[in-house]
Structure 1
């Protein structure tokens, strides 16, 4: 399990049977975007795994965080590799619905 933590953001990875789940907690915004990218970069390019982001413990996401998720989606789609977002909190799901991106994140 790989972990990246700062005062307001935490990302932990867990690998099981070809599925890598990244558990996020806290706030994903411009100030922590580099930390999130560091965790995700080596995973995104690995087409042999299914990549899932679990947002259960997320409290906030801004346009930078959404942009990173969309970049990951685009990269994974280009490799024909699975990417999903799961357990999205209601306040973040509402944002995904309002922006029209919810339909792109398969669960």
Structure 2
């Protein structure tokens, strides 16, 4: 079984900070995701978008990071979106109940 290397690719547009989360998001790589998020998660001038298209797996620690970012962005009254959530990950979000708090953007919106 091949283990996917975790990566976070960053992109910035006039209106958004976009982080492409790639591979498997678990306890061992949370510091890497946190390091990518820290420079932009407190900036309310643009929307923060997590593109999850290439996310293969997420554990409870990864979900916890997303919830933390969601709460912070809500306090800042700053937009936060998830985009291109794979079906198995979306199902997990539905089962854990966080789907109702996440705004899923389309290509045009997010």
Q: Normalising by the residue count of structure 2, what TM-score does the alignment of the two structures yield?
A: 0.89
Equivalence map 1:34-45=2 (5 Å): 34-45=31-42
1:31 maps to which of 17, 28, 31? 28
Shift of 1:14: 0.7
The offset of 1:53, in angstroms, is 0.1
Q: Structure 2 regions of 5+ residues with no counterpart?
A: 105-110
Residue 79 of structure 1 corresponds to: 76
TM-fit CA distance, 1:18: 2.1
Residue 35 of structure 2 is aligned to residue 51 of structure 1: no
Q: Please point out which of 17, 20, 23 is paired with 1:20.
A: 17
Alpha carbon RMSD of aligned pairs, Å? 0.9
Match of 1:4 in 2: none
For 1:67 and 1:98, locate their aligned partners in 2 and report how far apart those are by CA, in whole Å: 14
Give distance in 2, aligned partners of 1:103 and 1:76: 16
- Moved >6 Å (runs of 4+): none
1:99 aligns with 2:96: yes
| Equivalenced residues, count | 101
Gaps of 5+ in 1: 1-6
What is the deviation of 1:42? 1.1
Give the SS at the match of 2:51: strand
